[in-house]
Amino acid sequence: MFAMLCFLEDLGYMARVACMLDKVFKSFGLHGASVIPFIISGGIPGDCSVSGVMAARTLRSPKERLAIIFTAPFMVCGAKVTIFLMRAKIFFPKNATFVVLIITLTAWFAALIVSKILRSTIIKGAPTPFIMELPPYRLPTLYGIATHTWDRVWQFIKKAGTGIFAVSVIMWVLMTFPQLPEEQVEHFNVQRENVIKQVKHSSEDKERMVFTSKLNELDNLKQETALKYFYGGRMGVWLESFSKYAGFSMADKYRTYRRFCR
């Protein structure tokens, strides 16, 4: 992503994109250069909101910068793309691509509308006049693209990567420890071995299907028990007392998970 943006910038095209869209963004209280943080955040699905927020520092106006920081996460970043693609394929198998396109356009519309609301209420102020030197078109060099790309990647790793890594480690600990007691693990293993023996000794296909279904349910039950035993699972059970009023519960999530797995 950074290499592509560096190529367009060295080519002289990104400045012209900002110039062309300045009138459109000005009607929402933003600057023409705001298009760059939006694109990096996921205006083209698959990018990263963290990078988009970091790109907002190029804006001169602190108020416009705040509006971008608040609305850039509306875009379809790489983490959201996976979820949207999966759900679009499940619920709209024949029109999955069109659904993702609608989601992307809706994200742009929501970000601009919220920016307009923020710039009209909490973050009032006139838009910054558009003053930008348009560089001539020129063919980028491989060395220039590599250098600029590495600078941006290193800034991302240094500022955002450390936080992402720390959160990933914390989530791994919460969803891994403590392990199930050996007694419970042994109990599940014994039941699993019994079901496997029944599957092997079964001659009819219907019986084998029934035993295989029991084996899957047993594995799912073991995973559910382990999940509730982890620190993260215990936190989820505690939060269920609040989320149940919104119609969510651990049991409903587990049933949905089992249907999806099947």
d(CA 257, CA 215): 16
Phi then psi for 204, rounded to 5 degrees?
-90, 145
d(CA 58, CA 195): 62
Band of the pLDDT at 251, cuts 50, 70, 90? low
Q: Is the pLDDT of residue 254 over 80?
A: no
Sign of the CA dihedral running 217, 220, 222, 228? negative
Which tokens hold the place of 77? 């970043």
Q: Is the peptide bond before 178 cis (omega within 30 degrees of 0)?
A: yes
Band of the pLDDT at 125, cuts 50, 70, 90? confident
Band of the pLDDT at 220, cuts 50, 70, 90? confident
DSSP string, 57-91: GG-S-HHHHHHHHHHGGGS-BHHHHHHHHHHHHHH
Q: Please name which of 116, 105, 108, 107 lies closest in space to residue 28, comparing C-alpha atoms.
A: 116
Band of the pLDDT at 260, cuts 50, 70, 90? very low
User: Which of 210 and 59 is assigned the larger pLDDT?
Assistant: 59
User: Which of 165 and 199 is assigned the larger pLDDT?
Assistant: 165
Which tokens hold the place of 126? 């006139």
Task: Write down the pLDDT at residue 252.
Answer: 54
Domain spans, the chain = 2-160, 175-261
> Distances in Å between the alpha carbon of 220 and those of 108, 188, 214?
39, 11, 10
The conformation of residue 47, written as its DSSP 8-state character, comes to B
